[in-house]
Amino acid sequence: MSRSCLEVGIATLLLMVVAGCGMVKSVGTNPKGDELTRLEALPNYKNGAFENLAERADTTVKHNLLFRRRPETLRPSQPLPWVKTDLKTLPDPAPTVVWFGHSSLLIKTGQGNILIDPIFSNHAGPVPGLVTAFKGTTNYHADDMPPIDVLIISHDHYDHLDYRTLVKLKSRIKMAVVPMGVGADLVYWGFDRKKIIELNWNQSTTLPGGLQITATPAQHKSNRTYSKENKTLWASYVIQANQYRLFYSGDSGYGPHFKQIGQQYGPFDLALLECGQYSPNWPWTHLWLGQTAQAAVDLQARLLQPIHWAKFEEANRPWNEPIEKLLPAAEKLNVQVNVPRIGEPYTLGDAPKQTAWWNFDKLTL
């Protein structure tokens, strides 16, 4: 049974105090000195912080998360089904994608291994036990990963930039590509600055193996403490691997940037798009019901794979509501959807995975 909302609230307040005092290494650090001066010269960094393309005032009435009724299905009733895959022997004629729950992904290509927003420490946050992973999502670890040609980080929130995971992976990561300012955290945690590439929106880098990675806009925010927001950038990514083109959304609310990215960089063979954690408490920083399918249309994506769900309890809604609502919206818009189980590899060009493994009452695996 998950802890009560009141317990979570108290733990959150304690975390705010500890993080504010700089007592937790995993809190990281914001850019300082020459690095900060470099950020201040960027066109999307104004008045001491990064800005979205279209700033939106949040006038929504906040719901009190401490006392609001929690759905009985906020967490799965049993461990999620998963597949054990040897990640070191994946095929690579076409990109093969392995999803580990939430937004963590390994992509094997003929030009190198890509690891995106890995979190294998089984909780999201600097303090263990605050936001715990669902049962069935904790079977992959840093030691299971092959050599990583490039680590991609979308932004600095704890459920995407995980200190404990990255420290364990550090020795097998050849290069890291991150949004502007996020390199400060990696250097603070012992990464070699020469192995970190920071990108602003619409900047690209080509790695030695030929992979081309472009940072593209997202509609979100950044912070690892509650007092300092948007000191580092957030981004989505376009990944070009030989003739294949993939899109990774990171965290992003819906906006015209999806159509702009589709026009400039599309069409895409696969779009990995967030479909969970929406809330009236943050109405424009995540995709809402139906918007994930529309974003796939805007991007000109041939195939959609939903991410940012099925691992953590971060919003007050049934854990599998995102996928239950996404599928009819995607069908209405004629969008093909791929929904593999955790750890189940999918190779581009194969038939999409569509077994409803999240529906425990109607499915026997």
Q: What is the CATH number of the domain that holds 205?
A: 3.60.15.10
Is residue 361 in a domain?
no
Is residue 357 in a domain?
no
Q: Taking 50 as the threshold, does the pLDDT of residue 173 lie above it?
A: yes
Tell me the C-alpha distance between 206 and 213, whole Å.
6
Is residue 117 in a domain?
yes
Is residue 35 in a domain?
yes
Number of domains in the chain: 1
pLDDT for 241-282, tens place per residue? 999 999 999 999 999 999 999 999 999 999 999 998 888 888
pLDDT of 3 reads 36
pLDDT of 281 reads 81
Q: Taking 80 as the threshold, does the pLDDT of residue 7 lie above it?
A: no
Q: Are 208 and 75 in contact (CB under 8 A)?
A: no
Is residue 140 in a domain?
yes
Is residue 359 in a domain?
no
Is residue 233 in a domain?
yes
Q: Taking 90 as the threshold, does the pLDDT of residue 65 lie above it?
A: no
Give the position of tokens 């953590």: 312
pLDDT of 55 reads 65
Note down the domain range covering 299: 5-50+69-347
How sure is the predictor about 312, in pLDDT bands with cuts at 50, 70 and 90? very high
pLDDT of 16 reads 46
Q: Taking 60 as the threshold, does the pLDDT of residue 123 lie above it?
A: yes
Of the chain, the percentage scoring pLDDT greater than 70 comes to: 87
C-alpha distances out from residue 314 to 6, 28, 124, 323, 364, Å: 15, 21, 10, 15, 28
Q: Taking 90 as the threshold, does the pLDDT of residue 325 lie above it?
A: yes
C-alpha distances out from residue 326 to 123, 206, 312, 333, Å: 26, 34, 18, 11
Q: Taking 70 as the threshold, does the pLDDT of residue 194 lie above it?
A: yes
**Closest by alpha carbon to 208, among 324, 111, 89?**
111
How sure is the predictor about 228, in pLDDT bands with cuts at 50, 70 and 90? confident
- Kindly give, in sequence order, each residue whose CB lies less than 8 Å from that of residue 77, ignoring residues fewer than 6 positions away: 360
Average pLDDT, rounded, for the chain: 89
